[in-house]
Structure 1
Amino acid sequence: MRKNILITGASSGLGEGMAREFAARGRNLALCARRTDRLEALRSELLAKHPDLHISVRALDVNEHEQVFEVFEAFAKDLGSLDRIIINAGIGVGKRIGTGNFATNAKTAQTNFVAAVAQCEAAVGILRKQGQGHLVTISSMSAMRGLPKHLTVYAATKAGLATLTEGIRAELMNTPIKVSTIYPGYIHTELNAGGEEPAFRRGLRDGLSCAGEGD
């Protein structure tokens, strides 16, 4: 039976890349993001290459928490079930702490952590109801230690997400529900275009690698 995979933040970057990879492997997709024009273009592209797939797209701003639950449930209904739910949506904006940019850092914290809590809550609720499935969260190698400059809050949110996922994994141990955390290294996407990355790049060159359960 063909697997059904939900990906948040699927309009660009890692989300868009994962959608292409999973489509090539013959997976049905549930794709959501704020930019529906990008989602529709991606859907058309993937169906042109893989016309036998079921690809559903919906608008989602993960900071609209009620909408998260509505969209996830709608996708589960569209596809009949969700075998894997990938919590990928996030932002990379940030400012040095103590420089008068609290609003920017608060937005990163809200989007990368609080909204992730809502997504995990909605996802695990569906997986519990189904009695099976796989929750995947996209953290970052920056979660491994506190980072300076514009990455301070971003790193903290990714560490929080990793710890949240670890707790969920412990809660669901010995059940048919699998839980994985992925720690990508530096990837050049729209999220970090134009940002300062030297410290992060140096860390990656020191041998940091990503971990997670494959498809």
Structure 2
Amino acid sequence: MRRNILITGASSGLGEEMARQFAAKGHNLALTARREDRLKALQDELAAAHPSVTVVIRRLDVNDHAEVFEVFRSLDAELGGLDRIIVNAGIGKGAPLGTGRFDANLQTAQTNFVAVLAQAEAAMELFRAKNAGHLVLVSSVAGVRGLPKAVTTYAATKAAVATLAEGLQVELLGKPIKVSAILPGYIKSELNEHVANTPLIVDTVPGVRAMVSAIEAEKAKAHVPAWPWVPMARVLRYAPLPLLKRMI
């Protein structure tokens, strides 16, 4: 059992619900996010619901790369070793390229890939030292194919995250350190609550339950929930561009 789990971006959305579900399964948790007040409220909630579970929190801006390494190391020491690290923190800003919002696209690229790289580096440093551990990188079904307009940069970052996971999987094949890429479909969260008419969206609790199941199975790559996102990912991957444009 991967007893001690670190989750980044745990103050809301998918990270917050993952914390609830892993705590219910008896895992000790290290939770990080920028909003420390939200983390403290979640810590109190989990302590009341699961008194036998240890929950520690840290404020962390994943774009502060030096701080990422410091916080991961300190949480590893505090819990007596991290067994699984879930790199979940991310944002969904964006605009069509060339429309004057490079700032939004740059922030998404920095948070969703460069900061993910820093977190993966910090996690692998800990796991290589003990030759054990499970690194989980949260990508997205949006990363299966290039997407237009406001989602172009977001989709590109999520594709990069999945590729990063795959590169580590090739390197670590047959070794004790495991790496998973989790590609959620449209699951309700603060990230997408402002998007109207999101097709095939799944409620947060069952959507995250599918994520947790895939993570615990340590799947190399999982589109979740499996229905409808396994077949939809295949359609997205191979649809000709004119059909893809009509679909999205």
TM-score, normalisation: structure 1: 0.92
Partner secondary structure for residue 63 of structure 1: coil
* Cα shift at 1:203: 10
For residues 81-111 of structure 1, give each alpha carbon's deviation from its aligned partner in whole angstroms, at most 9, with x where no partner exists. Answer: 1110000000011111111111110000000
Matches within 5 A, 1:44-193: 44-193=44-193
Q: Aligned residue for 1:11?
A: 11
Structure 1 alignment gaps of length 5 or more: none
Equivalent residues of 1:139, 1:158 under 8 A apart? yes
* Cα shift at 1:195: 2.7
Partner secondary structure for residue 86 of structure 1: strand
* Cα shift at 1:172: 1.3
* Cα shift at 1:212: 4.1
CA distance in 2, matches of 1:105, 1:193: 19
Cα 1:203–1:143 shift into 2, 3 Å: farther
For residues 128-152 of structure 1, give each alpha carbon's deviation from its aligned partner in whole angstroms, at most 9, with x where no partner exists. Answer: 1122110000000001101112111
Report how many aligned residue pairs link the two structures: 209
Q: Aligned residue for 1:214?
A: 216
Partner secondary structure for residue 11 of structure 2: coil
Range with greater deviation from structure 2 (155-164 or 189-198): 189-198
Range with greater deviation from structure 2 (167-176 or 104-113): 167-176
Partner secondary structure for residue 216 of structure 2: coil
* Cα shift at 1:48: 0.2
The letter for the 1-side match of 2:155 is: A
Cα 1:39–1:128 shift into 2, 3 Å: same
* Cα shift at 1:155: 0.3
* Cα shift at 1:3: 0.1
CA distance in 1, matches of 2:35, 2:137: 21
CA distance in 1, matches of 2:82, 2:171: 20
Partner secondary structure for residue 48 of structure 2: helix
Equivalent residues of 1:181, 1:212 under 8 A apart? no
Equivalent residues of 1:133, 1:178 under 8 A apart? yes
The letter for the 1-side match of 2:18 is: M
Cα 1:117–1:82 shift into 2, 3 Å: same
Q: CA RMSD in A?
A: 1.9
CA distance in 2, matches of 1:2, 1:9: 19
Equivalent residues of 2:2, 2:83 under 8 A apart? no
Cα 1:103–1:196 shift into 2, 3 Å: farther
* Cα shift at 1:196: 5.3
CA distance in 1, matches of 2:140, 2:197: 14
CA distance in 1, matches of 2:55, 2:215: 23
Range with greater deviation from structure 2 (185-194 or 82-91): 185-194
Cα 1:80–1:126 shift into 2, 3 Å: same
TM-score, normalisation: structure 2: 0.80
CA distance in 1, matches of 2:214, 2:65: 27
